[in-house]
């Protein structure tokens, strides 16, 4: 663990790893006492979540908040930023409503609250679980000090869809990596005691399948086999449940025909039945009401009944339960017990958070002042941003830039050289900063940090910010051309606008938006070496750059410390170690493209190009595979060994490999272990990630890395929905990405 992370983890005393119980005898007893005093209206009120001062969805009716709270009609408020106002609401709830039940404030804390970290997909590229846990600890500390008790995070939707705007919120395409990151996030936010003033409840979302929306379109249809659902969608959710996530959120999409919000199979049978999870389920924004738009419920009564019976305890934003639940009970569509059970879950959460003991626990102005935006939070924001950057290409070793690099003049050029708007270098999901109005001076832009840093190294540096509006591109383009001509090295900064990343920001083209490849072509005209830095929130395609530009650094949306992290990586202070958590396609037509695909009966890789599974007009290979990322040093993998050539179902296999840093600088490598089940009862993926380890090696140093595989790693869901391992042959692969691997075979007896 690096010093910063170690310090933060120590600081917040997170060493214990115990799971938080979702109920205790004491809390249960207090809930029952309260429940007995509640009227039906008050119970339904607890199941109602209303919107605060910012909107993150479709228009919904808003009534007088204070009088609703006073009448006991509000269980929770979401997306409220104004601190003093939250105090007023809580006062209204605990002092003026009949039973004084406190409000729980929910908020989307997606990549930091006030201190903005890299987007979640970028964090996943670090493969650094300790850092991810530590940054969520900071996010929880900031959010809780500002009065939020509950985050709608982690978003654990696995996705193979770069068109989907929300792919940036998840951990990419792999269920194993996704599960480990889900655990780290839950631990980071919740700590070991939800009643501490600096911990908040998590919400694993969106349950389930949302990342597989057809056409990569938000809110769209999802249809998949139960086998695929369990194998690819569920592992991160299961990990979040096992780590004790206090709540879950269901999803907008239909899953195999049924809207998730009224999907009993996944919520009641799987999550609560099989997995024994007993937390609270909240709907997504008006997704109870939207069951009527789906055509799956006839009216508010029908919608309320169907969603409650399917396991949805709280209705976010739409107010459908308020309109329909009472009648659903009167008509015998739901039982009093079903309502009580949902209310119990809501109340239990409030007890767990300590809100009944001190409703103002999270509303202390002094704590707020002490805990927001501490300078040391920036250290982690900077180090995680640097370690999430992925070096895709570095022909001729253009990078890193050092005082002995053969240039004098460096030109920083592009729409993201020094941008101050559109939440650039961040995303839509930075609601803690406010919606559109935010203090842009908090972001360290690339130019702000790179110019002085490179000048201090003795270079002359120019900055040409290109505006992408039609009115100004012509002027800016000629300035860029001139700057490139005058320079010895061009750093071209391209990508997506921050506000184009997140919900309702799907795209039908994966090209760099607004024709930005043109900028790279233009600045390359003078035959000067060009380094392209990409700020994107999803896999994009940039074929000309891939082919022609010698160095490409994927910086994602790095957050507040964008510029400083870039200095660290571009100058070699930090040797890049990021690895792609999602496959980068060559072109849109290849989507969905993912590393853990089935072999097919006619794989092109081994059977040639004709009559095999491929395209006439494109390779089937990705531009960059899952797990890929270069370093300024090189790693040699050798001597892969197994502890045994055959194991029984009860034995554990050890797979070892030696890794040597063969270059001249120290570097961190993410060593990845995959398997392929060669003779299962059904077809199995050509590779499945089963373990990884981040190791730091000095030049010339060799480390032996050992992975352990047991029956649990070899099991899979078959078509009869049994989780089992089949005797037979397996391959094990170890390497620095999913393609360049050493392999060996063993038998499971």
Contacts with ligand NOJ by CB under 6 A lie at 56-57, 78-79, 108, 152, 205, 284-285, 503
What the block records as the tokens of 662 is 């063969």
Both structure tokens of 396: 């001729």
Closest CB 113 distance from ligand NOJ, rounded Å: 14
Euclidean distance between CA atoms 749 and 747, whole angstroms:
6
CB of residue 77 vs ligand NOJ: minimum separation in angstroms? 12
At closest approach, how far in Å is the CB of 205 from ligand NOJ? 5
Smallest distance, ligand NOJ to C-beta of residue 104, A? 14
Q: Per the residue annotation, which of 284, 418, 476, 500 is the catalytic one?
A: 284
Q: Does residue 592 have a cis peptide bond before it, meaning omega lies within 30 degrees of 0?
A: yes
Tell me if residue 696 falls in helix, strand or coil: strand
Q: Do 233 and 158 contact (CB within 8 A), yes or no?
A: yes
**Nearest CA among 9, 29, 242 for reference residue 130:** 9
Reported in sequence order, the residue ranges of 63-171 that DSSP labels E, i.e. its strands, are: 76-78, 104-107, 150-151
Pick the closer one to ligand NOJ by CB: 231 or 500: 500
Strand, helix or coil for residue 614: coil
Q: How far is the CB of 210 from ligand NOJ (least distance, A)?
A: 8
Pairing of strands 530-535, 489-495: parallel
Task: Compare residues 346 and 697 and give the one whose CB is closer to ligand NOJ.
Answer: 346
Q: How far apart are CA 485 and CA 489, in angstroms?
A: 9
Q: Select 169 or 561, whichever has its Cβ closest to ligand NOJ.
A: 169
> Around Cβ 739, how many Cβ atoms within 10 Å?
16
Closest to ligand NOJ by CB, 34 or 255: 255
Residue 64 a catalytic site member: no
Rounded to 5 degrees, what are φ and ψ at 10? Answer: -65, -45
CB of 431 vs ligand NOJ, minimal distance in Å: 8
Bridge partners, residue 53, by sequence: none
Q: Which helix (H) or strand (E) holds 84?
A: helix 83-91
Answer whether 234's CB lies under 8 Å from 240's CB.
no
Nearer to ligand NOJ, 131 or 261 (CB): 261
Q: Which is nearer to ligand NOJ, 92 or 284 (CB)?
A: 284
Per-position DSSP letters for 676-687, written without gaps between them? EESS-SS---S-
Dihedral (CA of 280, 286, 287, 289) sign: positive
Residue 397 phi, psi dihedral angles, 5° rounding? 60, 40
Shorter beta-carbon distance to ligand NOJ: residue 207 or 674: 207
Which among 241, 149, 254, 259 has a CA at the least distance from the CA of 204? 241
Least distance in angstroms from the C-beta of 57 to ligand NOJ: 5
Active site members: 284
């Amino acid at each position: 663990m690096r010093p910063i992370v170690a310090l933060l983890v120590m600081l917040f005393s997170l060493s214990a790893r115990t799971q938080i119980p979702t109920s205790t005898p004491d809390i249960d007893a207090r809930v029952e006492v309260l429940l007995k005093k509640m009227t039906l209206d008050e119970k339904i009120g607890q199941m109602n979540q209303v919107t605060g001062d910012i909107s993150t969805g479709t228009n919904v009716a808003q009534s007088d908040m204070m009088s609703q709270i006073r009448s006991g009609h509000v269980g929770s408020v979401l997306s409220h930023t104004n601190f003093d106002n939250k105090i007023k609401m809580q006062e209204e709830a605990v002092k003026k409503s009949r039973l004084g039940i406190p409000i729980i404030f929910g908020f989307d804390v997606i990549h930091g609250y006030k201190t903005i970290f890299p987007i979640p997909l970028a964090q996943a590229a670090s493969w650094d679980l300790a850092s991810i846990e530590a940054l969520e600890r900071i996010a929880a500390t900031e959010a809780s000090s500002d009065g939020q008790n509950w985050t709608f995070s982690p978003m654990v939707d696995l996705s193979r869809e770069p068109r989907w705007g929300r792919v940036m919120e998840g951990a990419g395409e792999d269920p194993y990596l996704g599960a480990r990151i889900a655990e780290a996030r839950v631990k980071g936010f919740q700590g070991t005691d939800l009643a501490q003033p600096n911990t908040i409840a998590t919400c694993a979302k969106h349950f389930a399948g949302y990342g597989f929306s057809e056409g990569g379109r938000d809110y769209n249809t999802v249809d998949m086999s139960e086998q695929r659902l369990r194998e690819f969608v569920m592992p991160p959710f299961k990990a979040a449940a096992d780590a004790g996530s206090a709540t879950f959120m269901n999803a907008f999409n239909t899953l195999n025909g049924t809207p998730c919000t009224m999907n009993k199979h996944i919520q009641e049978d799987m999550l609560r039945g099989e997995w024994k999870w007993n937390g609270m389920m909240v709907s997504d924004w008006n997704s109870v009401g939207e069951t009527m738009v789906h055509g799956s419920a006839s009216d508010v009564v029908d919608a309320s009944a169907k969603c409650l019976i399917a396991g949805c305890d709280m209705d976010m934003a739409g107010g459908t339960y308020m309109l329909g639940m009472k009648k659903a009970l009167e008509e015998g569509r739901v039982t009093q017990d079903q309502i009580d059970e949902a209310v119990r879950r809501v109340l239990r959460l409030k007890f767990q958070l300590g809100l009944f003991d001190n409703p103002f626990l999270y509303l202390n102005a002094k704590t707020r002042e002490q805990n927001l935006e501490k300078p040391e939070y920036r250290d982690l924001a900077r180090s995680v941003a640097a370690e999430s950057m992925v070096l895709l290409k570095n022909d001729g070793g253009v990078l890193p830039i050092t005082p002995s690099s053969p240039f004098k003049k460096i030109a920083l050029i592009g729409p993201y050289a020094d941008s101050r708007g559109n939440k650039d270098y961040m995303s839509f999901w930075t609601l803690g900063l406010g919606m559109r109005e935010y203090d842009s001076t908090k972001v360290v832009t690339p130019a702000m940090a790179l110019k002085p840093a490179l000048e201090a190294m003795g270079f002359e540096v120019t900055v040409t910010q290109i505006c992408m509006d039609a009115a100004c591109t012509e002027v800016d383009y000629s300035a860029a051309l001139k700057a490139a001509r005058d320079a010895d090295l061009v750093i071209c900064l391209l990508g997506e606008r921050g506000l184009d990343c997140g919900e309702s920001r799907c795209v039908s083209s994966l090209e760099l938006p607004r024709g930005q490849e043109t900028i790279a072509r233009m600045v390359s005209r003078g035959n000067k070496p060009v380094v392209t830095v990409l700020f994107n929130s999803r896999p994009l395609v940039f074929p000309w750059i891939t082919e022609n530009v010698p160095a490409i650094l994927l910086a994602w949306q790095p957050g507040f410390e964008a510029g400083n992290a870039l200095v660290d990586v571009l100058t070699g202070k930090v040797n890049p170690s990021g690895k792609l958590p999602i496959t980068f396609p060559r072109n849109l037509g290849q989507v969905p493209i993912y590393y853990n695909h089935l072999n097919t009966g006619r794989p092109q890789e081994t059977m040639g190009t004709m009559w095999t599974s491929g395209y006439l007009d494109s390779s089937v290979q990705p531009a960059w595979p899952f797990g890929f990322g270069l370093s300024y040093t090189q790693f040699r993998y050798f001597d892969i060994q197994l502890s045994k050539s055959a194991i029984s179902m009860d034995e554990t296999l050890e797979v070892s490999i030696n890794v040597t840093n063969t270059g001249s600088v120290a570097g961190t490598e993410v060593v990845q272990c995959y398997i392929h089940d060669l003779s299962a009862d059904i077809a199995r993926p050509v590779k499945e990630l089963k373990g990884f380890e981040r190791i730091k090696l000095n030049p010339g140093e060799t480390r032996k890395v050992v992975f352990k595989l047991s029956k649990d790693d070899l099991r899979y869901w078959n078509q009869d929905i049994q989780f089992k391992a089949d005797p037979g042959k397996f391959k094990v692969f170890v390497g620095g990405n999913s393609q360049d691997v050493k392999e060996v075979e063993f038998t499971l007896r």
